[in-house]
Amino acid sequence: MGLPADGRHRRLCVRLGRFPRSRPGVAPSGLVRTACHKELTISVADPPAEPNDHSSGPPAARFGPARPDAPASPRRLPERLAAAVGPLGRLPRPALAGLLVLVLAAGLLAAEELTAAGRVRRGVRVGGVELSGLTRAAATDRLLAAAGPIQSSPLALQAGPATLRLPRSRAGIELDVQASVAAAMEVGRRGPFDSRRFTGWFGRIELPWKARVVSGRLHRQLTTLDGRIGSEVREPTLRIGGRTLGPGGGTSGTAGAATTAGAVAVGVVAGRPGRAVDRAGAEAALLAAAAAPAEATVQLPMGERPPSVGPEAARAAADRATTLLGAPVEVTAGGGRADLRPADLAPLVRTKVAAGRLRLRLDPAGLDRLLRRQASFAYTEPQDARFQPTGSSVRVIPGEAGLQVVPGKAATAVLEAGTAGTGTGRSAALPTTVTQPELTTKEAKALGVKEVMSTFTTTFNAGDAPRVHNISLIAAAVHGSLVRPGEIFSMNAATGQRTAAKGYRTAHVIQNGEIVDGLGGGVCQAGTTMFNAAFFAGLPVVERRNHSLHISHYPMGRDATLDWPSTDLKFRNDSPYGIYITSHATPSTLTFTFWSTSRGYKVTASTSAASNFRAPATRYKDDPALPKGKEVVEESGSSGFDVTVSRTVTRGGTVVRRDSFVSNYIPWVRVVRRGTGPKEAAEPGAGAAA
């Protein structure tokens, strides 16, 4: 196919098939471009020669139709391609060259975008670390590895003559790896006209580290520097009745007396500027030196810091305090009322600097103590629900809720009432809250305390008054104990240490195998009684120790000793019900009773024969009142032995628990008084026979 020439323009000829060979003597003119394998031939020919042009051969000879005998190409160019390419032949050569440049540039841009997709562009470095061509993850790993040594290297923070040398992390400056990677990934991606898209092909693109300041850490170090070279800002404060309020709101100085009208004088103590490291400037300096070499010195700017509370704000706080302390403030709760005098409130006034103001407040804890003294009607203690055994049953006495003031809210209410004015409106209703008892009525009823679970009584000598007294004290301490389900009862915890301050007296105790006098003698009577009550209740005994000596008026093998704080008696309430313990002491008996819900337990016990007898040792006591050679047995002593008590707990014929309690009793020491006095004189008439 050929495009006709009009004699004024160049012609673009597209031939399908092979280009015809030149005839002898006729040279083809113009520019000829041939596609691969010469299957497609695009020929741009010169315009036809003018009449005086003597080029050999007619145009038809140069651009004639394809030879009929030429074989057909298997890949023919469609007609529309010729139509699309045709207009290009009419472009001037410079325009065609420019178009070619644009096409090449577009190709290069597309190739660059394809190769840089998801990766850092060529030539990009962060803080000297090469990131060219890395993915975001790989760049992050490389910067993390590079940031570690930098973060651990020290910096010197210098403010005036003071210097602090410490690791960057403690200084409050951190290299931000994620932000640094984001900055690297952003290079060349700020739109189609971003000049840095190709900059990396011809040189480096150096980016600084991104960093962040951890203000809390930095400010701690700046506070240290301020303490060395700075002077603290002194905020204005108040002087109340001769006492100056300190920085924390407390007071110093001597208390001032109220005036005759009852008011307390209030004055202003002016503030004073200080000198310190400029916080904002310090943060900027550290950010600039985030990746500086180790031991680099960072100069921190200093500046004067004025008080945050101005004179007018301080005067306003003083006026408010003057109003508060100018007259009494009435407080009410329920049907009660009381007046709080200015002299009572003055020690409770506190100030706090906040948002450029000197805020006035009252100390909640101090006000609570004042109200408990002067407005006790606003406080009632809660009463626990109680159990009252009557005969063989138990009645639950309902508990009572309590009432108490909410200190924080009360402080706000009193302050607002006292600063509202000087008239009759200076009254505050105290905010109160209901306090529930530790054991509510509902909880008490749910514990199932309703009948006798177990009871046991022991006897003792009523003539030993100190011992009888001690037994009554420990019985009173245990009375009313409540053991909730799953809890462990401890005799030592229930009674506390037996001391003279609690009224315990000196009575007989066992020490080193002998009976001697000691404080609190008789408590083991209570231990033995309690052990047997728990024993026959079928409860698991957690801790029990027998007396070192066997005491005949205790059940064989079922005694229990106590000694503060190491020797204790403990049992666990393994029932789903509560156990309420009552005690009853007489001059010769002690009874402990467990009240709960019966589980139908039957407890049987058997005691083994005594075994492993051990003879007592003899201790001699020199007695000058006895003649030498004479001996008197003061304590006959007894042998030590071992005995085992076995317990079986059953319910409905099924064994619930079997356990044994072994007791090892040491011998009672035999005590003999030995005479060391002069020998007795011989009786008259005695002697040998004459």
Query: Residues 307-359: pLDDT tens digits?
Result: 989 999 999 999 999 999 999 999 999 889 999 999 999 999 999 999 999 99
CA dist 556 and 411 (Å) reads 65
Helix (H) or strand (E) holding 80: helix 79-85
Contact 635, 619 (CB under 8 A): no
For the segment 361-382, the average pLDDT, to the nearest whole number, is: 95
Please name the residues in contact with 634: beta carbons below 8 A apart, sequence gap of 6 or more. Answer: 621, 671, 672, 673
User: Structure tokens of 123?
Assistant: 């030539």
CA dist 35 and 21 (Å) reads 16
For the segment 257-285, the average pLDDT, to the nearest whole number, is: 81
Q: Positive or negative, the Cα torsion across 222, 223, 224, 226?
A: positive
Q: What are the two backbone dihedrals, phi and then psi, of residue 133, each rounded to the nearest 5 degrees?
A: 75, 5
Helix (H) or strand (E) holding 542: strand 541-543
Q: How much is the pTM?
A: 0.55
Contact 334, 378 (CB under 8 A): yes
pLDDT at 110: 66
User: Structure tokens of 339?
Assistant: 């007046």
125 pLDDT exceeds 70? yes
**What residues form DSSP beta bridges with 389?**
394
pLDDT at 239: 93
Percentage of the chain exceeding pLDDT 70: 79
DSSP of 105-171: HHHHHHHHHHHHTTBPPTTEEETTEE-TT-BHHHHHHHHHHHHHHHHHSEEEEEETTEEEEEEHHHH
Specify the domain boundaries for CATH 3.10.20 within the chain. 111-229+273-306
Query: Residues 58-73: pLDDT tens digits?
Result: 444 344 444 445 444 5
Query: Residues 621-636: pLDDT tens digits?
Result: 888 888 988 888 888 8
For the segment 278-283, the average pLDDT, to the nearest whole number, is: 87
Provide the mean pLDDT of the chain.
82
pLDDT at 637: 81
The DSSP code for 197 is G
Kind of pairing between the strands at 570-572 and 488-490 = antiparallel
Locus of tokens 């290069």: 108
DSSP of 325-344: TTS-EEEEETTEEEEE-HHH
For the segment 371-393, the average pLDDT, to the nearest whole number, is: 94
Locus of tokens 């007619």: 58
521 pLDDT exceeds 90? no
Q: Which residue has the higher pLDDT, 6 or 79?
A: 79
Q: How confident is the model at residue 259 (pLDDT cuts 50, 70, 90)?
A: very low
CA dist 40 and 316 (Å) reads 98
pLDDT at 514: 62
Query: Residues 383-405: pLDDT tens digits?
Result: 999 999 998 899 999 999 999 99
Thinking of the domain 111-229+273-306, which architecture would CATH place it in?
Roll (3.10)
Q: Count other C-beta atoms under 10 Å from residue 207's C-beta.
A: 18
Determine the distance from the C-alpha atom of residue 559 to the mean position of all C-alpha atoms in its chain, rounded to a whole number. 48
CA dist 324 and 219 (Å) reads 37
CA dist 19 and 40 (Å) reads 9
Please name the residues in contact with 192: beta carbons below 8 A apart, sequence gap of 6 or more. Answer: none
Contact 274, 305 (CB under 8 A): yes
Q: How confident is the model at residue 108 (pLDDT cuts 50, 70, 90)?
A: low
Contact 632, 672 (CB under 8 A): yes
For the segment 587-596, the average pLDDT, to the nearest whole number, is: 96
